Structures are given as structure tokens and as C-alpha cells.
Amino acid sequence: MQPLEPNTVANLAFGGPKRNRLFIAATRSLYSVYVAATGAQTP
């Protein structure tokens, strides 16, 4: 199934307690998906 309008990705960020959830900000939507990788820790 193809979306009716294109949805351009604007930003990606890791979040969640284990930083293994990838948030994807698009033109008209916000998606999240759990991934096997983790994001970088902040000092």
C-alpha cells in the first residue's frame, strides 16, 4: 500500500529507558520502532 501523500523524514532520535526506541519525525507523522541497536549515552 502506498501513502496518498509523500511523508518526508525530518529528524531521527533514539529514546526510551534503554535508548533502543527510534523516533522518526516526518512531515505529517511521528513514528517509533524498537531496534536492536542503542543510541549514544550522554555524559
Which of 3-7, 10-14, 29-33, 39-43 comes out lowest in average pLDDT? 3-7
pLDDT in tens, 20-30: 999 999 988 89
Farthest CA pair distance, the chain: 42
Question: Rounded to an integer, what distance in angstroms lies between the CA atom of residue 6 and that of residue 21?
Answer: 24
Question: Rounded to an integer, what distance in angstroms lies between the CA atom of residue 13 and that of residue 39?
Answer: 8
pTM of the complete model beyond 0.95: no
